[in-house]
Amino acid sequence: MSALKDKVLAALRTVQDPDLKRDLVTLNMIKSVEVDEAAGTVAVEVELTTPACPLKKKIEDDCRAAIAKVPGINKIDITMSARVTTAGQPEGKTALPGVKNVVAIGSGKGGVGKSTTATNIAVALKELGARVALLDLDIYGPNVPGMMGVTGRPKVINKRIIPIEANGVQTMSMGFLVSEDQPLVWRGPMLHGVMKQLIFDVAWGDVDYLVIDLPPGTGDVQLSLSQMVHVNGSVIVTTPQNVALQDVRKGLAMFQKVEIPVIGIVENMSYHLCPACGHRDEIFDHGGGERVAAELGLNFFGAVPLNSEIRRSMDIGRPVAGVRGSEFYKIYRAVAERVAQEVAIRNAAGGSVPIATIKAD
């Protein structure tokens, strides 16, 4: 190893991952260092734990600043790559082949925009460069097919269901298997059986994040899911008003009971901006999600406004998180980055990051 390369690596040992609080060399995030001593050039590849890292720019800038202090360096090229991490599989849980992380999106009550949030988080993660699948486990009210703009039945090859790709995301839903006007009147054992099919009989490809849209409330689906697979983290969607926030507590208590970690809260319908005059109207109050997250010791992943553009995009099956010219593209991108960030932190800690403890009122 050249003397200059030694100095560059020593400089990079002073750069910490802001989340993991360890230096990049120790974390094996420095994948390559190439130097040309005669020309004074350095090329470094930094491998992040997710392409959706919200601190990507800071880490790159910190690396550049550290290397610039090394005498004799005239040019610095830094390449930022990513390899999504995963946590170990707990005893008693069945691994999903090819799936690195499972993220469940739930809510304490219906009508808060949970499916809209789940769909846009999935698409936003894809836009950030991750390989993503979206599973609609809202068995009695499957809205994901319409929101993703897909119809028809998936193919079955070698007794494995092939998910339908939509908006760059592998998608599976009970809505693909029954007609739109067919009601499902099932008791617990039947529900458990169809869940097993939707989870284990689907040929998921190489997936960084499997986003699961859960039904609202606290019921059989959440319990069955916790028994079947390891969920890396769940996100609770709420609206700002008190009646919804009361259900956040119940949702948190339910996830704790079934040992699914809650990694954060998203406040949906947080405010409305008049498209004509720009007046801000906090129809359902504002900031309740952030307040309850602080109270419960949870991450607050962001506030999403009530807006007709979001509604129209879901009605036509083109999630706004995939429309790059939209201001809401940035909002959902920021939410998805925070979700991926927290999953990566938990994976680095072996899934042992403490979570809030609360009893339902």
Identify the CATH number of the domain in which residue 28 sits: 3.30.300.130
Q: What are the CA-CA distances from residue 285 to residues 23, 71, 270 (Å)?
A: 42, 56, 7
Specify whether 123 is located in the same domain as 40: no
What predicted TM-score, i.e. pTM, was given to this entire model? 0.91
Domain boundary among 52, 82, 112: 82
Express as a percent the part of the chain with pLDDT over 70.
Answer: 93
Specify whether 23 is located in the same domain as 121: no
pLDDT of 360 above 50: no
CATH number where 265 lies: 3.40.50.300
User: Is residue 356 assigned to a domain?
Assistant: no
CB 104 within 8 A of CB 136: no
Q: Helix 242-257 vs helix 288-296: angle between axes, to the nearest 10 degrees?
A: 40
Query: Tens digit of pLDDT for each residue in 218-248?
Result: 677 888 888 889 999 999 999 988 877 888 8
Strands 99-106 and 30-36 turn out to be unpaired
Specify whether 159 is located in the same domain as 113: yes
Mean pLDDT value across residues 326-346: 95
Q: What is the spatial distance between Cα 285 and Cα 216, in angstroms, rounded to a whole number? A: 21
Domain containing 161: what range? 99-348
Domain boundary among 33, 49, 82: 82
Strands 280-281 and 272-273 turn out to be antiparallel
For every residue of 186-202, DSSP letters joined together read --HHHHHHHHHHHHHSB
Better-predicted residue by pLDDT, 290 or 89:
290
Task: Give residue 178's pLDDT.
Answer: 72
pLDDT of 357 above 80: no
User: Is residue 94 assigned to a domain?
Assistant: no
Query: Tens digit of pLDDT for each residue in 37-62?
Result: 989 999 999 999 999 999 999 999 99
pLDDT of 99 above 90: yes
Specify whether 165 is located in the same domain as 36: no
pLDDT of 180 above 80: no
Specify whether 76 is located in the same domain as 116: no
The total number of structural domains in the chain stands at: 2
Specify whether 154 is located in the same domain as 77: no
